[in-house]
Amino acid sequence: MFELLDGPPYANGEAHTGHAINKILKDFIVKSKIGLGYRVRFRPGWDCHGLPIELKIGKQKETPAPQSFKEIRSAARIVADEAIGKQMNAFRRWGVTADWDKPYTTKSSKYVAAQLDIFGQLVEQKLVYRTFKPVYWSPSSNTALAESELEYNEKHQSTSVYFRFKLINVSSPEIIWSSIPPSKPSQFYALVWTTTPWTLPLNNAICVSPNIKYSVIQFEREINNPTSTYYIIASNLVSELEKQSEQKCRILGTVKSENLIGKKYKSCWHNELALPIYEAPHVSDTVGTGLVHTSFAHGFQDYDVAVSNGERIQSFVDSRGCYTRHLGHDLDGKHVLGDVIIRSSQQWFIDVEEIGKRASSMLDEITVSAGDSDLRGSLKQLVTTRNSWCISRQRVWGTPIPGLVDENGEAYTSRELIEWVADLTRKSGNTDVWWEVDLNKILENEDVRRSLKIPKDVIPQLKKNVDIMDVWLDSGLAWHAAKENEMEREHVTDVVLEGVDQFRGWFQSLLLTSVAVKNKLPYRKIIVHGFCIDEKNNKMSKSVGNVVDPILLTDGSLKQKAIGADGLRFWVALSGSENAGESKIGPKIIEDVDRKIVSLRNGFRFMIGGCQGFNGNPINSPLKTLDQDMLHSVDSFVKKTISNYEEFKFRTVANDLTQFIQRNFSSNYVKYVRDRLYCDKIGSESHLSAQFTLHRTAYSLAHIISPLLPHLSAEVLHHLPGSHEKQILRHTFMELQSEEKYYMPELSQLMKVVHELRTVLEASAGPKIDTSKKDIIVYVKPEQEKLLKTSELELPELLNVSGVELNESRDGISVEITDSKRRYCERCRKHTRKDGDNLCSRCFDALVV
């Protein structure tokens, strides 16, 4: 049994080229594994919950925006179902094989109940907690966000400022002056640099490092002022300050970091506040000033500073992204800058610090790759540096986090409560039960109430927690919830395949939850692919107008030639496989793919055409040398392709196929066999040999390429005598190997000499001489002559000439081109006719009834 676990696409919108890369690559795996003899389980999935769908239903013009939780969730289901239907139709149009009758969706009651079962186990292990700490926050959507949900604009430049804070208790004696200490009154400032200037009124501390050398500087334009103003900055960053401020500075001395740690400075917003300078490990002198502005509620490292120093954490930015009244009338209600901010709020978290380290060590047991690249290090780095995972969202469309909260924000939950909700969901088939169930009914369940350990005086204050789970936790539990039964769950997924962005998303969420609950990996192998870009290396964008619709590729339009589902699949094989970089698509690339598909079709058309009148059964007579060589090449291609399928090298298979048809088949076989196929007597041993070879070649290639090009494969087998399209993937690829009885023992050595002769002949003839109408005299070494004599009568065909005279020479291979002594035959167009005959003997026999 081989299992491919589907990383569920989001159930919103139409299928796009990103879907095509992902789903078609998965289909390559499914079909190739079937051909390799495996029973395969691949259940398609959809990720249905989350913010985009909620935002979409809020913008629908034809109906009033839903208000209640029931209205929102009902409308969201409709949006998700419509998207699933559209995407499923597209995936099936592309030839994707899956268990379409039993897909998993994260909104189904069965999935939600199974997800809650596992969440209850995480709670029981005390890995889940609720606290007040910084998270990414969307003011417009009024919810927490995960880092993996953020979209980074690489061209964006943050607004950055240098800002000075007035030091209170730093004085001249603590400075190591380069010369005589100043005699004028002096004022010292801590100079900070920040890319979030909106947090300056919320400043709580400044952080420095004991490993950094700090300088005391003065701007040259301020030297003659009556009071000396000095700034403290990391010595390595003085030149950068001069560059950015376009002001010259003088370094007048240095100050030790220990003389800064513990000092006080004035708040920039509350003049009466004296704030501390702390030591912190994250401070560096690579950018900024080496003194870090710190706002406990609005930075992850800032929060750590607060915790390590026992500071209280307060947020004076509300859920709308506005300053609160605590900052005074001037800022009250004003929006801070930024569509996404870092803001502290009460959220649910999973403690993944220890789990991440454990998971990292386990990753050595598997492969994480794109082609031959080993990408385990990327995933290990991400999971080992992650301390906590914010799993709560302040929305409605999602899986609930069953719990109770009192008026002070204290949370109460338990495995018993969560499993009780899971059972209600499973039995009722209703995923809204948490919102519908009355609080009193929850508390009436004695086992649940006892497990929550709620103080009696708190019970009247309780409310149901209304946060929902992060969608990455939804899909991250697919290793359990997407499977039908315990037998399936016991089988560790063999492969997951997703885009490179899932290092921050699904790869992690699967890994962390599985290791946390079962202490084992959820997969045996990760395969990574890249994103789709245009021919000019630009990302796909509707505003730019470079988006390529896969439906237009497959079905065509007035402006776009249809390349069919197999054309799309072949592009995925060539551009999307064995590669974590970008997959390019555009008019020129599409044209090239179409040209290659046409070349493949022409090759198969020749094979099928040559098989007319042939029943496809084995023949009793021996094969011609040229035919033996062709079938040997087919066997080698099949064997190599099997190896590439085992290693998921679909790009290699596609390139090898193109080269095989162009070189091995067209150049090295069709060119030479055409004369025999067209001119030998139908039904003769020589003609049957060619037909058998063409039939076996078409049959083997059609089957071996079926994972990549199933429609072309079906079409070939439909028209190939003695075959049927329903035979696809009904036989293993190993069954395609030809029997050894078809090959003479010395075939490889003989064809090596023939290929050498062809090279010499082509060089001697040049582009102007048609060798098919010439005789040649061949000079070879004795051992080579012995080989050639085993097929001497076939040498004219093997070398595409009218006649061959074989001679021994000690000097190596050489060829002499001569005019034939025989006459030109009008039927076969070779110089093989005797004087007085109308046709050559071969053509005469072919026409005799």
Query: Under 8 Å CB-to-CB from 560, ≥6 apart: which residues?
Result: 552, 553
Residues 297 and 231 grouped into a single domain: yes
Of 294, 312, 330, which marks where a domain is finished?
A: 312
Residues 305 and 175 grouped into a single domain: yes
Predicted pLDDT of residue 147: 73
Residue 141 has a CB neighbour count (10 Å cut-off) of 19
Phi then psi for residue 839, to 5 deg, are -135, 165
The SS3 of residue 380 is helix
Residues 819 and 676 grouped into a single domain: no
**Element of type H or E holding 515:** helix 506-518
656 is written with which tokens? 């090898």
Could you read off the pLDDT of 596-613 as tens digits, one per residue? 999 999 999 999 999 999
Decide: 827 and 799 in contact? Cβ < 8 Å: no
Residues 195 and 299 grouped into a single domain: yes
| Residue 290 belongs to a domain | yes
The SS3 of residue 331 is coil
CA separation for the pair 845, 827 (Å, rounded): 12
CA separation for the pair 590, 584 (Å, rounded): 10
Domain count, the chain: 3
Kindly report the three-state secondary structure assignment for every residue of 226-263: CCEEEEEEEHHHHHHHHHHHCCCEEEEEEECHHHCCCC
Query: Under 8 Å CB-to-CB from 757, ≥6 apart: which residues?
Result: 778, 780, 799, 813, 815
Residues 295 and 217 grouped into a single domain: yes
Decide: 817 and 809 in contact? Cβ < 8 Å: no
Transcribe 404-432 into DSSP letters. EE-TTS-EE--HHHHHHHHHHHHHHT-TT
Decide: 359 and 507 in contact? Cβ < 8 Å: no
CA separation for the pair 771, 802 (Å, rounded): 8
Of 690, 714, 742, which marks where a domain is finished?
A: 742
Residue type, 198: W
Residue 585 per-residue DSSP state = E
In terms of C-beta distances under 8 Å and separation of at least 24 residues, what long-range contacts does 665-668 make, across chains too? 665/603, 665/630, 665/697, 666/603, 668/629, 668/630, 668/633
Axis crossing angle, helix 685-704 with helix 671-679, rounded to the nearest 10? 130
Predicted pLDDT of residue 180: 84
Residues 691 and 770 grouped into a single domain: no
CA separation for the pair 701, 694 (Å, rounded): 10
Predicted pLDDT of residue 117: 97
Residues 728 and 792 grouped into a single domain: no
Both ends of the chain: CA-CA distance in Å?
57
CA separation for the pair 629, 239 (Å, rounded): 72
298 is written with which tokens? 């609005």
| Residue 516 belongs to a domain | no
Residue 311 per-residue DSSP state = -
CA separation for the pair 771, 756 (Å, rounded): 16
CA separation for the pair 430, 437 (Å, rounded): 11
Residue type, 808: E
Predicted pLDDT of residue 154: 62
Kindly report the three-state secondary structure assignment for every residue of 59-83: HCCCCCCCCCHHHHHHHHHHHHHHH
Predicted pLDDT of residue 61: 59
CA separation for the pair 724, 710 (Å, rounded): 13
- Indicate the pairing of strand 228-234 with strand 205-208: unpaired
CA separation for the pair 50, 531 (Å, rounded): 22
Predicted pLDDT of residue 65: 65
Query: Under 8 Å CB-to-CB from 101, ≥6 apart: which residues?
Result: none
| Residue 220 belongs to a domain | yes
Query: What is the domain extent for residue 798?
Result: 747-846
412 is written with which tokens? 């109460």
Of 270, 287, 312, which marks where a domain is finished?
A: 312
Residues 307 and 188 grouped into a single domain: yes
Residues 180 and 300 grouped into a single domain: yes
- The C-alpha torsion from 3 through 7 and 10 to 11, rounded to 10°, is 10
CATH number of the domain residue 280 falls in: 3.90.740.10
Predicted pLDDT of residue 805: 93
| Residue 230 belongs to a domain | yes
Positions of the chain with pLDDT lower than 70, given as ranges: 61-66, 148, 151-156, 739-741, 849
- Indicate the pairing of strand 404-405 with strand 463-464: antiparallel
| Residue 377 belongs to a domain | no
| Residue 14 belongs to a domain | no
Q: Which residue has the tokens 């190939």?
A: 720
| Residue 779 belongs to a domain | yes
CA separation, residue 353 to residues 118, 383, 475, 512 (Å)? 19, 8, 21, 10
CA separation for the pair 94, 554 (Å, rounded): 8
677 is written with which tokens? 């196929």
Which residue, among 46, 162, 171, 187, has the nearest Cα to 104 in the 3D structure? 46
Residues 733 and 788 grouped into a single domain: no
44 is written with which tokens? 């398609």
CA separation for the pair 560, 51 (Å, rounded): 35
Residue 737 per-residue DSSP state = P
Residues 731 and 762 grouped into a single domain: no
Which residue, among 418, 352, 340, 305, has the nearest Cα to 139 in the 3D structure? 340
Query: Under 8 Å CB-to-CB from 72, ≥6 apart: which residues?
Result: 54, 57, 66, 396, 397
| Residue 170 belongs to a domain | yes
Phi-psi region of 845 (alpha: psi -120 to 50; beta: other; left: phi over 0): alpha
Residues 738 and 770 grouped into a single domain: no
CATH number of the domain residue 751 falls in: 3.30.2320
User: Using alpha carbons only, what angle is made at residue 575 by residues 573 and 580, rounded to the nearest 5 degrees?
Assistant: 105
From the centroid of its chain, how far is CA 343? 31
Residue type, 634: V
CA separation for the pair 611, 721 (Å, rounded): 7
CA separation for the pair 430, 492 (Å, rounded): 30
| Predicted TM-score (pTM) above 0.85 | yes
Q: Which residue has the tokens 């509620």?
A: 297
Residue type, 37: G
